[in-house]
Chain A
C-alpha cells in the first residue's frame, strides 16, 4: 500500500499540491511520483529517523504555557512546500520592496516625522504604539539601516494569492529550524533533492554575519561581533547558540558585557575585549536598565549611551517594533507608496482598526465572524478567531476591545492555503503559512524559502510552535526568473 493510496481531500481551500480537479500541480509531480513508490512502513521509518535526529541534536524550543516550561522538539512534517522559481521572484521583489520602505519609514519616524506631518499615517497611531521608543529620537544609526533581520509572514488565500500577514522586525526567530529542516530533508530524500534542484538555504549565517559586519563602526578592520542572549531560560536559546556557532561569534549574556567610557567590552579571561557589533536577541525593554526598564537583569547599563555615541552597532536597531505594530501594519501599503512611489507588490490582508470609530462599530457588531488581534502580542496569543469561538469567548473579547480600542485590529478570516501533511497514517490537508527571512546589509538578501509553519491540529489556523504548530521544509526551485 503506497503513501498515496488513500484519497486526499483538498476541500474548499487552496491546496499547495493538488489543483481543484485533483491533479497534482506541475511543480509537485516529481514528489508525487516518488511518494507513490514508497510504502507506508518505509515512509514511517524515514520519519522516525528524522525525529530521532532532531532529538539528538536538541532542536528544541521552550513552551511557556506548559507548567514546567519544558523543552519540546518542534514537530516536523516530511512533505515539503514547493515554490516554483517565477512565483518566488515575485515574492522576493515584494519582500525587498517592503523592507526598503520600512527602513525609510523608521528613519523618518525617528527624525523628521514627515509622514506624520503630511498626515499619511495618523500621528496618534505612532505615538500610542507600544514599541515607539521616544528615547531613540534623533539617533543616527550606521548606514541608516534600522531593520537588519526581518521575518515577514505570508499567507495564501482561497485563490492562491499571497498576502502579507505581518512583519516581525524585532527579534524574528525560526531560522535555525529552517536550516535544520533542510538537513533533515537531505538525509530523508537525498535523490529527490538532487532531481529537483532546490536553492540552498545554508548560506544564511554567512549572509547574516556579512550584514552584521557591514554596520560595524569604522574604527577597526576586524570588527568583533557578539550575539546577546537573555540566557538558557529563553524559549529560543537553542537558536541563539546555533546561530552564534554557525557564525563563529561568541554568545554573551548582559552580565558578560560592560560599558566603559561609552565603549562596550566583553569580560574574558584575558581581560576586557572591545565589542563592535551586537546581534541582540533581547527586547528593547530589557536592553539597558539605565534607559529602559531599570529592573532588567538581562541588559547592559550604558549600552544605549554607547550606541548613541556611535561606539557600537546593534542589530536590529532600537524602536523597530513601531513598524510591526498591528495597527501600523494597516498603513504599510500607504507607507510603500509614500517613500517609494510604488504600489505594493505584495498586498496586506484587509484590516479594520478598532481605534477608528466607524471600524469599531463594525468590529463590535460582527465579532463572531472576524479574526480579532491585540496590536502588540506575538506568538498567536491575544487573538480571537470569531468563527471558531464560543459565545462566551466572543463576549469576553468584545468587552476587551471596547475598553481599549487602540489596542485591537480585526480582519476577515482568510481561508488559509493547505498542504498535505502526514497525520497518523494518511495525508490530510493542514493550514500553513510562510516566513521568509530578509537580511539588510550592503545588499538586501532574501533567503530562498524560509520556514513554512503548519497548524497540526485538524481545522486549526494557529501555526505557532507554542500552540501546536509544526514546520515543513520549503523548496524554491532553481530556474529562470
Chain B
C-alpha cells in the first residue's frame, strides 16, 4: 500500500510570538543539529550495513572491485582523504572502523551521536526525559563497544541497534514533543540531512560506479543498484511502484521524484520547504527571503522535471547542484534564525604603557 500523496499545507498568517514563548537562537541551533546528527548517524549505519551485506552476498567480487566498492562509499561521504591519512587498504574492517568508531572522522557514527548528545544536553530542559535518555543510552552503548566486539558479534546486530535507537528517538520526538517552534527546527534539520544523504547515495552509484558497456544489466550491476535501494530502505517500496526489474533510470527516478516515499529527495524537499516557510514566517505568495526562493525553485523542479530531462542534463550535475542548494538554504536559515556567537572570549584592547 502506497503512502497517501502529501497535500500542500495551506498558507499561514505569521503568528506574532509572545515574548515568553520566543525561542532562543541557541536553543533552535541545538535542536536543529541534534536532529541532523541523529539522522546522519542512522544513514551511515544503513549505508555500512547494506554494503557489508552486499559484499558477503556477492562472492563474485574480486580485489579490484572490492577496493572500488569501498572507495565509492568513502567518496560518497567525502571523507576519502581523511581515510587515506590514517588507514591503509580500504576493506570491510577498516571502513567499518572508520565510519563507526573513529572520532577523528567527524562523520563517524560515534562522532555524530556524540555531537547529537552534546546538543541534547545543552537543551535538556527543552526536550522530554525520554528523548534525552534515548540519545544518552545510544551514546553510552557506542562508547562501550569497539570494532572488535562488533566483528565478533556480527555487525548486522550492531547496525540494527543504531537504526532502532534512531527510530525510537524520532518516534519519541513525534509523540512527546509539542508541535511548537522547536518542532519545526527538528523537522527542518532532519529532512535537510535526509535529502542530502539520498542525493549522495544515488550519486555514488551513477558517478563512481559507472559500469562498462558489458556490465550494464549484468549481475554485478543489478546487485549494486539493489544495494543503493537498500541503503535508502527503498527496495520494497520500489518494487511495489515499478516492475520487478531493477532499472537504473527507474531507481534514479524513484529516489529523486517520488512524492510518497519518505526518503526520496522530492518528499524531503517538500518537507524542507514547508518547515522553512514556517520558520521564516513566509506566508505570502511570493517569497521574501533568498532561502525561501531557492527552496521554492528546487521544489518546483522536483515536482515538474522528468527523469529524461535530468539524465540529459547530467544526473551527477543535478545531484551535486541539489546538494549545494540544500546547503545554501540551510546555511541561510541558520544564519538568520539560529545565530549566536560561539564560545569565543572577548579580546582585551591592547593597553599602552605610559612613558
Contact = CB atoms under 8 A, between A and B. Distances in A.
Contact of B125 (A241, A269, A270, A295): A241
B26 A256 contact: yes
A256 B25 contact: yes
Contacts of A245: 125
A259 interface: no
A270 B24 CA distance: 9
A70 to B, nearest CB: 15
Interface stretch (A35-43, A247-255, A387-395): A247-255
Interface string B314-355: 000000000000000000000001111101111010000000
A270 to B, nearest CB: 6
B345 A268 contact: no
A294 B23 contact: no
Interface stretch (B3-11, B14-22, B254-262): B14-22
A267 B348 CA distance: 24
Given A232-B124, A290-B346, A297-B345, A269 B279 contact: yes
Given A255-B341, A297-B343, A301-B346, A267 B19 contact: no
Contacts of A432: none
B122 interface: yes
Interface residues of B, number: 27
A269 B25 contact: yes
Name which of A241, A250, A266, A273 has the most chain B CB atoms within 10 A of its CB.
Answer: A250
A232 B19 CA distance: 23
B340 A255 contact: yes
Contacts of B23: 268-270
B121 interface: yes
A252 B343 CA distance: 15
B24 A266 contact: yes
B181 interface: yes
Contact of B24 (A241, A268, A290): A268
Nearest to A249: B20
A267 B24 contact: yes
A299 to B, nearest CB: 9
Interface string B271-283: 0000000010100
Name which of A251, A266, A267, A301 has the most chain B CB atoms within 10 A of its CB.
Answer: A267
B26 A267 contact: yes
A255 B28 contact: no
Contacts of B24: 250, 252, 256, 266-269
Interface in B103-136: 121-122, 124-125
Contacts of A253: 26
A183 interface: no
A234 interface: no
B284 to A, nearest CB: 17
Nearest to A223: B19
A273 B25 contact: no
A252 B339 CA distance: 14
B178 to A, nearest CB: 14
Nearest to A238: B125
Contacts of A252: 24
Interface string A291-313: 00011010001000000000000
B341 to A, nearest CB: 6
B20 A268 contact: no
Nearest to A241: B125
B125 A267 contact: no
Contacts of A289: 345-346
Contact of B22 (A241, A255, A266, A294): A266
Interface residues of A, number: 25
A222 B25 CA distance: 22
Contacts of A273: 19, 22
Nearest to A273: B22
Contacts of A348: none
Nearest to A255: B340
Name which of B24, B28, B279, B337 has the most chain A CB atoms within 10 A of its CB.
Answer: B24
A224 B22 CA distance: 11
Interface in B271-305: 279, 281
A459 to B, nearest CB: 38
A294 B346 contact: yes
A436 B181 CA distance: 39
Contact of B26 (A222, A248, A255): A255
A174 B28 CA distance: 30
A242 to B, nearest CB: 9
Contacts of B340: 255-256, 267
A177 B32 CA distance: 33
A297 to B, nearest CB: 6
Contacts of B125: 241, 245, 251
Nearest to B181: A269
Contacts of A248: 20
Interface string A42-80: 000000000000000000000000000000000000000
A294 B348 contact: yes
Nearest to B25: A267
B266 to A, nearest CB: 27
Contact of A295 (B17, B20, B345): B345
Name which of A252, A269, A294 has the most chain B CB atoms within 10 A of its CB.
Answer: A269
A297 B343 CA distance: 7
Nearest to B123: A232
B336 to A, nearest CB: 8
A339 B121 CA distance: 49
A223 B279 CA distance: 25
Contacts of B344: 297
B295 to A, nearest CB: 17
Interface string A216-230: 000000101000000
Interface string B134-145: 000000000000
Contacts of B279: 269
Contacts of A222: 19
Contacts of A270: 17, 22-23, 281, 337
Contact of A268 (B25, B281, B341): B25
Given A255-B340, A255-B341, A256-B340, A250 B20 contact: yes
Given A232-B121, A232-B122, A232-B124, A268 B22 contact: yes
Contact of B19 (A224, A294, A297): A224
Nearest to B124: A232
A269 B343 contact: no
A301 B22 CA distance: 22
Contacts of A290: 346
B289 to A, nearest CB: 13
A160 B22 CA distance: 50
26 contacts: A224-B19, A232-B122, A232-B124, A248-B20, A250-B19, A250-B20, A251-B125, A255-B26, A256-B25, A256-B26, A256-B340, A266-B22, A267-B24, A267-B339, A268-B22, A268-B23, A268-B24, A269-B23, A269-B24, A269-B28, A269-B337, A270-B23, A270-B337, A294-B345, A294-B348, A297-B345
Given A245-B125, A250-B20, 10 more contacts: A222-B19, A224-B19, A250-B19, A250-B24, A268-B23, A268-B24, A269-B337, A294-B346, A297-B344, A301-B346
Q: 3 tightest CB-CB pairs across the interface, nearest first?
A: A269-B337, A268-B22, A267-B25
